[in-house]
């Protein structure tokens, strides 16, 4: 079994249900005699029932549309074998992976034939739970149960009933739904491209006219393809999908990398890499601190960070961010959070030896540079490459940040009838601070204020202020993200995206409320 499948199994094994607690009835497909012509009929005939064969089910779990020229229809099907909406069909003869499909109302009337099991739920399954069970039934785990009989891999009823099925997990189900929707969208694009190519000679056209037709009608398809191809470039993903401070710092790295040959280019590139690494860790640690405060948990590193702001002479640095990310995973109370909570992913960023080594190497380089122990013009190629490799490694591990949307909420209107907020916001994702505003309805627990939020995969909003705030920088008038800082005992606010700082302007009472003053 592959490592991916092992991880899948470990994920599901934590919470299983006995097969017979989910499915009260299992029917075998109708083994009718095809030579008996008496019951054969057309789809429009009275009492006609469609026969669903194994070939009628796609690998994507979709039952094919009825086709009067391909499908078989019978009027003599046993009533007890008639399918119901909500039944699950599973292949008993397996080629590759098992096929499984959910019967919909639109598929009826129908019966399953021969190489199919019909699994009838004891009670209606939610869409989320059905999606998980279907994914499990198509897995290697079920395939590996099948035994070879007469040259075929067959799944016995006794083997099926011995299975333990995944319990309902809305977060995992939502992730599977997103993946399926993405696959469907890509499939639609491929079909559209094929349709354009096939339609060129549907009319009488010259080669020149056909070429122009392909260019004009296929333009959108080609642009989609080019955009999709860019997603294979990690740099493009970081520039366009990562949170603004990280995306901007990465763009600066790429700009400096492209300036090879200019005076001091190598030193500038090295400095850009170090700043990008510090912003990555700083942003991740500040998210962690804000989420931990919301959840009512803490760790020694978070307390030390707060202590620097409240009583120290200097503010937090690379090492503080590193320790917060290293310690949060073992904080008391973390195990009580659901697996989809963002803190779990943040706790994995530096959770192994390779990540710690990369972080430590970058931290040492950052401190040497900050304390004047490095002659920047003389930065060696090997040291620059080492820094680049460390940054790429960490930023790739932080890819989950692309799913955690940074939202600057600028306006809120409360609808007392719907008991929901309509919020105006800017998604600060990608390497540019000027982004369009959009509206979103929020009916979650608690009221929303005009402030900075993190939206998780389920669109729950987590407040980030005052650990992170969003405002125009006094120095450059650019929309920027700031955090509380200290220098020689003076309270400051420092930008994560470009490093500008000045005395703290916001209401310090908010800092006191979270232990930062």
CATH number at residue 45: 3.90.220.20
431 domain residue, yes or no: yes
More confident residue, 475 or 369: 475
User: What distance in Å separates the CA atoms of residue 421 and residue 440, rounded to the nearest whole number?
Assistant: 8
More confident residue, 311 or 416: 311
147 domain residue, yes or no: yes
* Percent of the chain topping pLDDT 70: 90
Residue 298 banded pLDDT, cuts 50, 70, 90: very high
User: What distance in Å separates the CA atoms of residue 212 and residue 218, rounded to the nearest whole number?
Assistant: 10
More confident residue, 484 or 71: 484
Residue 436, pLDDT > 80, answer yes
Residue 201 banded pLDDT, cuts 50, 70, 90: low
Contact 412, 419 (CB under 8 A): no
101 domain residue, yes or no: yes
pLDDT, residue 420, reads 85
Instruction: Fill in the DSSP letter of residue 175.
Output: H
pLDDT, residue 12, reads 44
- 211 and 316, same structural domain? no
- 94 and 17, same structural domain? yes
User: What distance in Å separates the CA atoms of residue 473 and residue 375, rounded to the nearest whole number?
Assistant: 31
Residue 310, pLDDT > 70, answer yes
Residue 466, pLDDT > 90, answer yes
Half-sphere exposure of 112 (CA within 13 A, CB side): 27
- 164 and 28, same structural domain? yes
Cβ contacts of residue 383 below 8 Å, gap of 6+? Answer: 270, 365
Residue 9, pLDDT > 50, answer no
pLDDT, residue 153, reads 86
- 155 and 144, same structural domain? yes
If you average pLDDT over residues 159-172, what whole number do you get?
Answer: 83
User: What distance in Å separates the CA atoms of residue 118 and residue 431, rounded to the nearest whole number?
Assistant: 51
Strand 479-487 relative to strand 490-495: parallel, antiparallel, unpaired?
Answer: antiparallel
Strand 49-52 relative to strand 110-112: parallel, antiparallel, unpaired?
Answer: parallel
pLDDT, residue 233, reads 83
If you average pLDDT over residues 81-106, what whole number do you get?
Answer: 93
pLDDT, residue 2, reads 43
- 163 and 23, same structural domain? yes
- 488 and 397, same structural domain? no
Q: Which of 135, 153, 156, 160 is nearest to 59 (CA)?
A: 135
Residue 215, pLDDT > 90, answer no
250 domain residue, yes or no: no
Which of 362, 386, 402 terminates a domain? The answer is: 402
Contact 177, 202 (CB under 8 A): no
If you average pLDDT over residues 210-236, what whole number do you get?
Answer: 75
Find the range with the poorest average confidence among 191-200, 253-262, 490-499, 500-509: 191-200
246 domain residue, yes or no: no
Number of domains within the chain: 4
Q: What is the pLDDT of residues 258-273, one digit of tens each?
A: 766 565 778 889 999 9
User: What distance in Å separates the CA atoms of residue 410 and residue 316, rounded to the nearest whole number?
Assistant: 28
- 303 and 393, same structural domain? yes
DSSP string, 78-142: -GGGB--TT-EEEESEESSSPPEEE--GGG-SEEEBSSEEEEEESSPPPHHHHHHHHHHHTSHHH
236 domain residue, yes or no: no
Query: What Å distances lie between residue 462 and 383, 450, 452, 453, 468, CA to CA?
Result: 39, 13, 9, 5, 12
User: What distance in Å separates the CA atoms of residue 15 and residue 338, rounded to the nearest whole number?
Assistant: 13
* Percent of the chain topping pLDDT 90: 55
- 275 and 396, same structural domain? yes
- 388 and 272, same structural domain? yes
- 266 and 189, same structural domain? no
More confident residue, 180 or 154: 154
Q: Which of 431, 433, 469, 434 is nearest to 450 (CA)?
A: 469
- 183 and 132, same structural domain? no
234, β-bridge pairs: none
More confident residue, 339 or 105: 105
User: What distance in Å separates the CA atoms of residue 323 and residue 302, rounded to the nearest whole number?
Assistant: 8
- Kindly report the average pLDDT of the chain as a whole number: 87
302 domain residue, yes or no: yes
Which domain does 193 fall in, by range?
Answer: 174-198+207-230
pLDDT, residue 52, reads 95
If you average pLDDT over residues 2-9, what whole number do you get?
Answer: 43
- 391 and 295, same structural domain? yes
- Among the ranges 67-81, 215-229, 270-284, which has the highest mean pLDDT value? 270-284
pLDDT, residue 446, reads 77
251 domain residue, yes or no: no
What are the backbone dihedrals phi and psi of residue 73, each rounded to the nearest 5 degrees, phi first?
-130, 140
Strand 147-149 relative to strand 152-154: parallel, antiparallel, unpaired?
Answer: antiparallel
Residue 182 banded pLDDT, cuts 50, 70, 90: confident
Residue 408, pLDDT > 60, answer yes
pLDDT, residue 19, reads 93
Residue 374, pLDDT > 60, answer no
């Amino acid at each position: 079994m592959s490592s991916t499948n092992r991880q899948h199994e470990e994920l599901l094994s934590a919470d299983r249900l006995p097969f017979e607690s989910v499915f009260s009835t299992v029917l075998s497909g109708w083994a009718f005699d095809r030579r008996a012509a008496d019951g054969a009929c057309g789809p429009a005939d009275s009492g006609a029932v469609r026969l669903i064969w194994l070939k009628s089910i796609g690998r994507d779990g979709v039952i094919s549309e009825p086709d009067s020229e391909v499908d078989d229809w019978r009027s003599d099907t046993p009533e007890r074998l008639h399918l119901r909406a909500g039944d699950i069909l599973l292949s008993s003869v397996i080629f590759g992976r098992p096929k499984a499909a959910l019967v919909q109302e639109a598929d009826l009337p129908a019966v399953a034939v021969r190489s199919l099991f019909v699994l009838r739920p004891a009670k209606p399954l939610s869409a989320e739970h059905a999606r998980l069970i279907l994914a499990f039934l198509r897995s290697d785990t079920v395939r590996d149960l099948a035994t070879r009989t007469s040259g075929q891999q067959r799944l016995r009823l006794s083997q099926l009933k011995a299975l333990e099925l995944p319990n309902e997990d809305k977060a995992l189900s939502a992730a599977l739904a997103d993946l399926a929707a993405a696959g469907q969208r890509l499939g639609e694009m491929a079909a559209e491209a094929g349709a354009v190519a096939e339609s060129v000679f549907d009319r009488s056209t010259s080669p020149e006219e056909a070429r122009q037709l392909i260019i004009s009608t296929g333009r959108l398809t080609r642009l989609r393809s080019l955009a999709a191809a860019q997603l294979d470039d990690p740099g493009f993903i970081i520039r366009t999908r990562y949170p603004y401070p990280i995306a901007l710092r990465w763009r600066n790295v790429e700009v400096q990398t492209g300036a090879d040959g200019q005076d001091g280019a190598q030193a500038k590139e090295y400095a850009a890499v170090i700043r990008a690494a510090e912003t990555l860790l700083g942003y991740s640690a500040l998210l962690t601190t804000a989420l931990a405060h919301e959840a009512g948990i803490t760790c020694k590193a978070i307390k030390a960070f707060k202590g620097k702001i409240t009583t120290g002479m200097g503010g937090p640095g690379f090492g503080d961010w590193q320790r917060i990310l290293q310690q949060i995973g073992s904080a008391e109370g973390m195990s009580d959070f659901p697996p989809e909570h963002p803190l779990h992913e943040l706790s994995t960023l530096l959770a192994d030896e390779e990540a710690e080594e990369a972080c430590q190497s970058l931290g040492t380089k950052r401190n040497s540079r900050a304390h004047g122990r490095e002659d920047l013009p003389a930065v060696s190629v090997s040291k620059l490459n080492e820094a680049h490799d460390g940054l790429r490694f960490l930023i790739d591990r932080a890819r989950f940040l692309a799913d955690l949307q940074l939202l600057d909420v600028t306006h809120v209107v409360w609808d007392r009838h719907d008991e929901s907020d309509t919020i105006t916001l800017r998604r600060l994702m990608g390497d540019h601070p000027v982004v369009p505003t959009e509206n979103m309805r929020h009916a979650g627990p608690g009221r929303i204020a005009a402030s900075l939020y993190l939206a998780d995969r389920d669109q729950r909003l987590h407040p980030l202020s005052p650990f992170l705030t969003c405002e125009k920088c006094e120095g450059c008038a650019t929309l920027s993200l700031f955090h509380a800082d200290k220098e020689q005992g003076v309270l400051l606010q420092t930008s994560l995206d470009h490093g500008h700082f000045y005395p703290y302007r916001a209401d310090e009472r908010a800092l006191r409320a979270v232990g930062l003053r």
